[in-house]
A and B are shown apart, each in its own frame.
Chain A
Amino acid sequence: MRYDDPELRELLAAEYVLGTMPSRSRRRFERLIAGDPAHARVVGAWADRLVPLDTATPAEEPPARVWRMVEARIDRAAAPPAPAHGWFGSLEFWRGLAVAAGAAAAALIIYVAAFPGRTVLPVPTVVAVLADQSGDPSWIAVAGPQRGEVSVSAVRAQAEDTRHSFELWGITGGAPRPLGLLRPQSGSVAIIPAAQLPPPGDLLAVSLEPPEGSSTGLPTGPVLSRGKVLLTPP
């Protein structure tokens, strides 16, 4: 089939949203649009054209057990058997979050907040996830603890090394600016003023530097991890 025919693309997108595709074709189509953002936008446009029909459907409160079941299934799927520091310190959790980062945060917030009357653990506002060259998250920046502050911590303990330090950089338009030294121990946090962060879309990076940090105002050692700033922290 020729998938580049605009009319066919439109028709497939609409049939996908309408739900008239056989289940197997639908899954094939999902794989197709996963690598075709332009086509995914056509699909999104159809979902938005037809979703007003759903807003007129009577809303019904789902029972709380639905949430508990979801939680149990997600825990089984995402969490290692006994994370050292609960879910917050779990590498698998952050790895999952790095995959889900970006605009997807919006969907997760809806997902978490969708069940009222339930006490949830405070969900950190993730400002950036910094991944190493193999794509594994190594540092995470979250909003807080105070307004206007951002906490940066190691997702997993980095190798202790007294001859080097880890320095954080904000990179706006390709120009690095030093933001301070990080503490590599698991559980240690470096707090920086949110105002010093580059705007969303620009980069945070961590480089390996002498113990007292770079003396030139520019990274001198290798850049170990980097990640986009996802949002402006509150």
Chain B
Amino acid sequence: MLYTQTAARLFGVAVRIVGQREEAEEVLQESFVAVWQRAGDYDAARGSATGWLTTIVRHCAIDHVRRRAGRPESRSAPEDLLLKFAAGERTDRGAELSVLQRCLGELDEQPRRAVLLAYVYGFTREEIATGCAVPVGTIKSWIRRSIERLKRCLDG
């Protein structure tokens, strides 16, 4: 059942970003209230419902983490997730995922890590900069360049 999977997947995304279930429940709750309030903004011509819903959940989760001081220590690196995908985990977007993986693979290692830390775990530019021991300006230009390269690769 598509809808059942949607809620469970969105909850999985919230757990992934905030790092624990109780807070992820709050995030999911906020997200669905936001979906209700902003349903009028959704337009199928502007992208898939999954993309729209996921963006709302990710942003709620990111705001939640930003409001809270610090984030949980124990989390696997995003590369682990990528390895898991590479190991052949089946998803309904398997084909799109493998194209995305290939394009991410074409990025240099550190910029790729920056993009994944941002998307997968909702890290801020500052947090990524601290983790990579580089200035925030470097992270901004890594992300900017990665975005341009990803678009060329994905659309090409």
Contacts and interface: CB of A to CB of B under 8 A. Distances in A.
Interface of A: 10-11, 14-15, 17-20, 22-23, 26, 34, 37, 40-41, 43-45, 47-63, 65-66, 69-70, 73-74, 77-78, 99-104, 106-111, 113-116
A56 B84 contact: yes
A52 B91 contact: yes
A112 to B, nearest CB: 8
Contacts, number: 192
A219 to B, nearest CB: 29
Interface of B: 1, 3-13, 15-16, 21, 25, 28-29, 32-33, 35-37, 39-55, 58-59, 62-63, 66, 81, 84-85, 89, 91-93, 96-97, 100, 115-116, 118-120, 122, 124-125, 143-144, 147-148, 150-151, 154
B4 A41 contact: no
Contact of A45 (B25, B47, B58, B125): B47
Contacts of B53: 107, 110
B21 A60 contact: yes
Contacts of B43: 37, 40, 102-104
Given A53-B100, A60-B11, A116 B1 contact: yes
Contacts of B96: 52
B8 A59 contact: yes
A103 B49 CA distance: 10
Given A18-B115, A47-B54, A103 B42 contact: yes
A49 B59 contact: no
Nearest to A65: B25
Given A53-B100, A111-B35, A44 B46 contact: yes
B67 to A, nearest CB: 9
Given A59-B12, A62-B28, A70-B29, A107 B35 contact: yes
A29 to B, nearest CB: 11
A101 B118 CA distance: 33
Given A20-B125, A41-B46, A56 B35 contact: no
Contacts of A18: 115, 118-119, 143, 147
17 contacts: A11-B144, A19-B118, A20-B118, A43-B47, A43-B55, A44-B52, A54-B13, A57-B81, A57-B120, A66-B28, A77-B37, A104-B39, A104-B41, A110-B3, A111-B32, A114-B10, A114-B32
A100 B102 CA distance: 38
Contacts of A26: 59
A48 to B, nearest CB: 4
B51 A73 contact: no
Contacts of B28: 62, 66
B124 to A, nearest CB: 7
B51 A113 contact: no
A60 B25 CA distance: 11
B11 A44 contact: no
B55 A17 contact: yes
A195 to B, nearest CB: 25
Contact of B42 (A17, A41, A107): A107
A47 B52 contact: yes
